[in-house]
Structure 1
Amino acid sequence: MSVNLDTCVVSPGDDDHLEDAWGLKERIRREEGVLKQRRGFFTDAYRRSTVYCYLADDAIVGFATVRRDGYVLFLAVDPDYRDDGIGKRLIARVVEDNQSVSCHARTTNEGALEFYESVGFEIERRIDNYYEDGGDAYYLTLGEGGGIRDRLSDLLGR
């Protein structure tokens, strides 16, 4: 789907686009069985983090919620926009602002794991019973081969 996208950055402490982000996360949870976080946890994490957003017609179509240490708490892209490179652009934006980038992903979330691998993340370790529901996770870091700034260029195809 080729459309004009706007970007915005939501600063810590701000609620801009919180409801839309929650709605997108919940839609993905219902349809794909991932992003199972509770509302209170999500809201608290959103408010404490920097949130990078992609918008189409003022509606969120992708966002990354990132702690100040470069840890990606949430990354979500509307399924209708997944072939537009939004996920890669979100990770590239996170790389611009952080010395290192890391995240967790469910061991069963093949789509997320394929995406993270495609942009250069590497599995550092497996953590059993990481999630509230007993699900296992991988801890991933963006590979340092050539440095994180080089990864940014690779992500953006420069």
Structure 2
Amino acid sequence: MSVNIDSRVVTPGSDDFVDEAWQLKEEIKRQEGVLKQRYDFFTDAYRRSTVHCYLQESELVGFAAVRRDGYILFLAVDSDCRGLGIGKQLVAHVAEDHDSITCHARTSNENALQFYEHLGFEIKRRIDNYYEDGGDAYYLKLGSDVGITDRISELVRR
């Protein structure tokens, strides 16, 4: 597989790549049972976010939708493109604009939890019944107290 990947930034108010992002999210949902948001919730949050997108041959292979406070609403990478550093790069783009980054991850989503832990995120608290389906979440944070800039720079160089 070619690793020729382009990046784009979708500004708040735009729906560029929203349908592609929804399809990628739904594919991950089918494969892994995570990212279970409703369409209206997803598209509304997407359109209000800054979205960092990665495309391979014009196909969306990863994206991170981020609120202006550095909270990652959605982070998704196509399963065929995992291990190429796309997730790290997406978080690195978020880190360029924010002093701290936060997100929630399902307590049962081992892949996400391992990914975030590898990047230096810390679990700050557990929230029972966080998701609509009753699933529990961890609230995670990566911030200046853990050297976000140095940590992300180090990861991107790998």
Q: TM-score range by the shorter chain?
A: over 0.9
% identical aligned pairs = 68
User: Structure 1: which 5+ runs fail to align?
Assistant: none
Cα deviation 1:96-151 (Å, max 9, x = unaligned):
01111000000000000000001110100000000000000000001545522212
Q: What does residue 20 of structure 1 align with?
A: 20
Q: What does residue 86 of structure 1 align with?
A: 86
Q: How do 1:3-82 residues align onto structure 2 when only pairs under 5 Å count?
A: 3-82=3-82
Cα deviation 1:65-118 (Å, max 9, x = unaligned):
000000000000000000101000000110001111000000000000000001
Secondary structure, aligned partner of 2:104? strand
CA contact (8 A) 1:96 1:152 kept: no
Secondary structure, aligned partner of 2:92? helix
Query: Paired residues, what number?
Result: 158
Cα deviation 1:27-77 (Å, max 9, x = unaligned):
000111000000000000000000000000111000000000000000000
Change (3 A) 1:134 1:146: closer
Q: Distance in 2 between matches of 1:125 and 1:108?
A: 15
One-letter code aligned to 2:86: I
Q: Distance in 2 between matches of 1:155 and 1:141?
A: 17
Q: What does residue 133 of structure 2 align with?
A: 133
TM-superposed deviation, 1:21: 0.4
CA contact (8 A) 2:99 2:144 kept: no
The alignment's C-alpha RMSD in Å is: 1.2
TM-superposed deviation, 1:3: 2.0
One-letter code aligned to 2:103: C
User: Structure 2: which 5+ runs fail to align?
Assistant: none
- TM-score under structure 2 length normalisation: 0.96
Q: Distance in 1 between matches of 2:19 and 2:143?
A: 33
CA contact (8 A) 1:122 1:143 kept: no
Q: Distance in 2 between matches of 1:148 and 1:87?
A: 15
One-letter code aligned to 1:99: D
